[in-house]
Amino acid sequence: MKRIKTIVASQLDENQVGFLISMINQAYVQSEGDIWKNEHQRITKSALLEIIAKRELLLAVNGDSICGCIHLEPMSDSMFKFKMLVANPVFKGIGVGSILVKFAENEAIKKGAAKMQLELLVPTDYKHPDKIFLNSWYTRIGYKKTAEHDVNYLDPGLTKLLKTDCVAEIYQKIL
């Protein structure tokens, strides 16, 4: 296997855009299908194209293969957040997530960020295995839970798309 490289997505062809939409939505159905109502999609083509146009989509690639992606979004001049961290199942378990988070942190630092944030949607009615894993992983890589909010904090109206009650856990890291 070739070495995994990281890039800021700028120009992707239709096949790559379609692949990313499918990879992202399938990953979220697999990991959060019991949280969202069936009609919910994590990403649409228009939303992904907007993220790409803003140069906020970061990719891990191996040759012509997309290994994973992460959305890096500015919150202010000194704080960024990452979201939509997804590893291609073909490359899962080899550190793609770690590579992408580190790349996102470095890109944020280059743009003047002193702090990084992420938001974790967590069910309140039961312990979700993926959320337990992510809480542990984010903590290991230096993120600290700083707040917990109603899910509408993330996006007003979000609760109507959920099958179960959830909270938004906020994690931050000094860069």
Residue showing tokens 């979201």: 83
Residue 90 pLDDT exceeds 90: yes
Give the pLDDT of residue 109. Answer: 97
Q: Comparing C-alpha atoms, which of 171, 164, 155 is closest to residue 128?
A: 164
Give the pLDDT of residue 155. Answer: 82
Residue 47 pLDDT exceeds 80: yes
Task: Report the chain's mean pLDDT, rounded to a whole number.
Answer: 94
Q: 66 is in which domain, residue-wise?
A: 5-174
Give the pLDDT of residue 73. Answer: 98
Give the pLDDT of residue 1. Answer: 52
pTM: 0.94
Q: What are phi and psi of 34, to 5 degrees?
A: -85, -5
Give the full edge-to-edge strand order of the sheet including 79-87: 5-8, 57-62, 65-74, 79-87, 115-123, 166-174, 144-150
93: three-class secondary structure by DSSP: coil
76: exposed, middle or buried (C-beta count within 10 Å: 0-12, 13-18, 19+)?
A: exposed
Give the pLDDT of residue 175. Answer: 98
Contact between residue 121 and residue 171 where contact means Cβ atoms under 8 Å apart? no
59: three-class secondary structure by DSSP: strand
Rounded CA-CA distance 170/1 in Å is 36
Task: Please state the rounded mean pLDDT for residues 125-141.
Answer: 96
Give the pLDDT of residue 87. Answer: 95
Give the pLDDT of residue 159. Answer: 87
Tokens matching residue 113: 């960020």
Give the pLDDT of residue 2. Answer: 64
**CATH code for the domain in which residue 70 is found:** 3.40.630.30
Using 50, 70 and 90 to split pLDDT, how confident is the model at 22?
very high
Number of domains in the chain: 1
